[in-house]
Each structure stands twice: as C-alpha cells, then as structure tokens.
Amino acid sequence: MSFDFDDMLAKIKDRQWALADIDWDAPGAELIDPELHAKLKPFLSDLMWIENVGARGFAAMAKKAPTETLAEIYRYFHAEEQRHANAEFALMRRWGMLDGDDVPEPNINVKLVIDFLDKYADGMSMSFLGTVIPMLEVALDGALIKFITDEVKDPVAQQVFRKINADESRHLATDYAVMELLGHATTRKLVIDFIGGWAKPSLIIGTLSYVPLLNKMRDTIVEMGVSEERLYAAMDRFAAVAERAPIVNRLPMYRVVRMHSRWVIDRSHKYHLLADSLVKVTARFPDRFLRNPRWSKALTYEPAA
C-alpha cells in the first residue's frame, strides 16, 4: 500500500488547534434559527459524548497498533476527539443551551455504549475497532458536519466545524489505510479474529447497546433535518473503501458493518423492528447500574490552549 503514515503523523502534529484559538464571544450566536436551536440542544448533548466514544476507541487502538508511528497517530486522534467534544460543549454554552455550567447528561443508549467501551474496548481486536469506528465517523461527521455548516449561520460554529471536519478527514484517510493494512492478514488470522471476537459474551453485550444507539441517532439526525439521501451518501463513502482497495473485502467485520450500515439508514428494512424494540427496552434500563466513565471529567468548555 502507498499510504505514508509518517507523513500523516507530521501533518497531524502541524495542524493541531485549541479552543483558545477561537473567539467564543464573537458576534453571531443570535443567527442560529430558533427551531434548529431547539433540535440541536439534545443532539449536541449526545454528540459531545459520542465524540468521547470515538476517543475511547482510539485509545484502545493505540495499544494494538502494529507500529509506534500508528500508535502515536491514534494517541493524537484520541486527544482530537476529546477536543471536538469540548468544542461542542463550548458551542452549547455560547448558544445558551446549558443549565448553568453543568455537563449535559447523555441519553441512556449513549451511556450504555460508553459503559461497554470503558469496560471492554481494550480487549477488542483491531479488525473490530478498525471497522466500526470509521463507519461511525462517516455517518456522524460525514453527514452531520456538512448539514451543520450548511444550516447554522453562526460564524463561530462555522469555524469550529471546519476545524473538526479537517481533523475527521485525516482520521478517515488513516482509518481507510488501516483497513487496507488489516486486509493483508492471513485468512487464518482473519477467521480467528472474527469468530473469536463474536464468541466473547462481551461483544454480544456491546452489540445490544450499539444497535439501539445507532437507531436512535439515525432518527434524531433525520428529525433535525438531515436528509436520508445525505446519510446514504455518507454510507456510500464507507462502501467505496472496498472499491478503491478490494483487499478490504477480506475483512469479515468490514462486510458485516457495511451491511448493517445499510440496514440502519433504510427505515423500511425489517431490521428496524428489532432495533426499535431494543430502543424501548434500553429506555427502561436503570441508571444506577451505569457508572461515570473515568475520563468524563475531561469535558470542559474552557478555552484551554
């Protein structure tokens, strides 16, 4: 493969930014449409936590990376996802969406996925993490960031999401290259990783929390105004990875994730009977069984350098 991980690491280091680079008190907050403001508030509350789901995944991948260069890239991605969460938190504060300075609570489905990853992510294989995380980034960032930059006129939000989008572009380029790298593994290793992964009860638990989260987020995004065509276009980007690099098709988990992503977007698919049922079941899950993640205190709207 021709991807230069050393060059990517150099670009990542060169293009770091901080919340202190942004004038959070600049005019323009009033330009956000009131109807969109009401819809964005609960969504951003969840999105800032989902950014940390990605961060937790990258932290786990850093421990499994085959080279020190890739491990360092993942450590930067971990920090960047946390920065995205903090920037979204700061936007919520700018737009008057917070109850005082309290950190918004994520919905129960986000909490379940966070709890699962906090407990089990370090035991998951690269082939699992390396296919699921890119799909989430494509769906949430590919579709949502484009929508927000089109619909939200606040110049500060435009600046923030341009920076987030630039980071995510580097994440996805690396994600795709890693999937291609993983596709070169022996058939025996691919089969052992796939069957061994699904043989773990923890992965079944993770799936039962992941499915309702995706379903709920998919419906929330559409209700907010993101067209289903935009979501399909985002998923086409994920499917196109194997068109550009057919060896990615050797990853069984990539095929599963690609198929599942199509089901999630297509609201008419029978899959949603199961997913909607899981949304209802998880809504009744007692909050007291879910502990706060170790990293939750890292969330802050403060414009630290």
Q: Tens digit of pLDDT per residue, the chain (305 long)?
A: 589 999 999 999 999 999 999 999 999 999 988 888 888 888 888 888 888 888 889 999 999 999 999 999 999 999 999 999 999 999 999 999 987 777 887 888 888 888 888 888 888 889 899 998 888 888 776 677 777 888 889 999 999 999 999 999 999 999 999 999 999 999 999 999 889 888 888 888 888 888 998 898 888 888 888 787 888 888 888 888 988 899 999 999 999 999 998 999 899 999 999 999 999 998 888 776 666 555 555 566 666 54
With CA atoms as reference, report the closest residue to 153 among 40, 239, 21: 40
Q: What whole-number distance in Å separates Cα of residue 258 and Cα of residue 256? A: 6
Residue type, 22: I
- Give the DSSP H/E element, type plus range, for residue 19: none
pTM, to two decimals: 0.91
Q: What whole-number distance in Å separates Cα of residue 305 and Cα of residue 303? A: 7
Beta-carbon contacts of residue 208 (< 8 Å; ≥ 6 apart): 278
Q: In 46-80, which positions are buried (b, 16+ CB within 10 angstroms) versus exposed (e)?
A: bbbbbbbbbbbbbbbbbebbeeeebebbbbbbbbb
Q: What whole-number distance in Å separates Cα of residue 19 and Cα of residue 90? A: 9
- 249 near 239, Cβ under 8 Å? no
Q: What pLDDT shows up at residue 200?
A: 85
Q: What pLDDT shows up at residue 136?
A: 83
Residue 131: burial class (beta carbons within 10 Å; 0-12, 13-18, 19+): buried
H and E: helices and strands count for the chain: 12, 0
The CA–CA distances, whole Å, from 273 to 44, 95, 235, 255, 264 equal 27, 36, 21, 22, 11
With CA atoms as reference, report the closest residue to 176 among 123, 261, 263, 247: 247
Q: What pLDDT shows up at residue 301?
A: 62
Q: Look at phi and psi of residue 291 and say left if phi exceeds 0, alpha if psi is from -120 to 50, else beta.
A: beta
Q: What whole-number distance in Å separates Cα of residue 30 and Cα of residue 22? A: 17
Token pair, residue 234, equals: 């985002």
Long-range contacts of 270-275 (CB under 8 A, 24+ apart): 272/215, 274/211, 275/211, 275/212, 275/214, 275/215
Token pair, residue 43, equals: 């969504």
Beta-carbon contacts of residue 150 (< 8 Å; ≥ 6 apart): none
Of how many residues is the chain composed? 305
